[in-house]
Amino acid sequence: MKNASTRLVYDYWNKKRGDRLAPQRADINPTDIRHALSDTFMLASDFINQLRFRLAGTRVCALFGREIKGEAFAELWNDKSHKMIEKQITIVTNEATGLVAGVTAHTEDGLTADLELLLLPLAHIGHARTRALGVLAPLVPPYWLGTTPVANLDLGTLRHLGPDAEGQPAPRFISGLNGVRLKRGFVVYSGGRENPSGETPG
């Protein structure tokens, strides 16, 4: 994790979940992560089971040049990444598996910026709708932030954070693990862009 907001939110989420697969929405106090709030968002499912922004920080909205509350998360991605991000959303929400990923933001004018995405599951009981806590932050804030909106996002290499992840060659998708203690680890999982060198970004 390269961005300070990503590290702060992940450490906070990890502390709040303890031995559980994920903390509940009620466990998350925004004031505890106030230094990362501008880069933070929450996703909630609507009545057609699509994740939309329930909350979005000021810098997340500044990337797109508008208030994105209520917009579908998957619709921010380009055609190449759309199916992959929908698959990752399902993994995060159904398998209680987080992810951290490299993302490239594209503007209509051809400008780009490297972002880091963190997406973490939130446990839900009954009809609770909030499903995920996330961060979307530039590694280096682009000079055009707030003046030129991002048109779409491109998913790069990602790593899963989940049960028994450390040392595994691929993520293991497991459901029904309530009460199981988690090991902390990462798994490399290829996203929409391939790294020609075969190396995984640090």
| Cβ proximity of 158 and 151 under 8 Å | no
Q: Which of these ranges, 23-27, 103-107, 176-180, 187-191, has the smallest mean pLDDT? A: 176-180
Two tokens, residue 71:
């917009």
Q: Give pLDDT, residue 50.
A: 82
- Domain of 163 in residue numbering reads as 4-189
| Cβ proximity of 101 and 6 under 8 Å | no
Mean pLDDT of the 127-142 span: 87
Tokens 């590290």 correspond to 7
- Establish if 197 belongs to a structural domain: no
Q: Give pLDDT, residue 94.
A: 85
- Establish if 77 belongs to a structural domain: yes
- pLDDT bracket for residue 98 (50, 70, 90): very high
| Cβ proximity of 171 and 160 under 8 Å | yes
Domain count, the chain: 1
The arrangement of strands across the sheet holding 112-121 comes to 51-56, 40-45, 130-138, 112-121, 98-107, 150-161, 187-189
User: Over pLDDT 90: what percentage of the chain?
Assistant: 63
* pLDDT, mean over the chain: 81
- Establish if 194 belongs to a structural domain: no
The CA dihedral of 78, 192, 40, 183, to the nearest 10 degrees, is 160
Which residues lie closer than 8 Å to 199 by C-beta, 6 or more apart? Answer: none
- Establish if 143 belongs to a structural domain: yes
CATH code for position 128: 3.30.450.20
- Establish if 148 belongs to a structural domain: yes
Tens-digit pLDDT profile for residues 44-77: 987 666 899 999 999 999 999 999 999 999 999 9
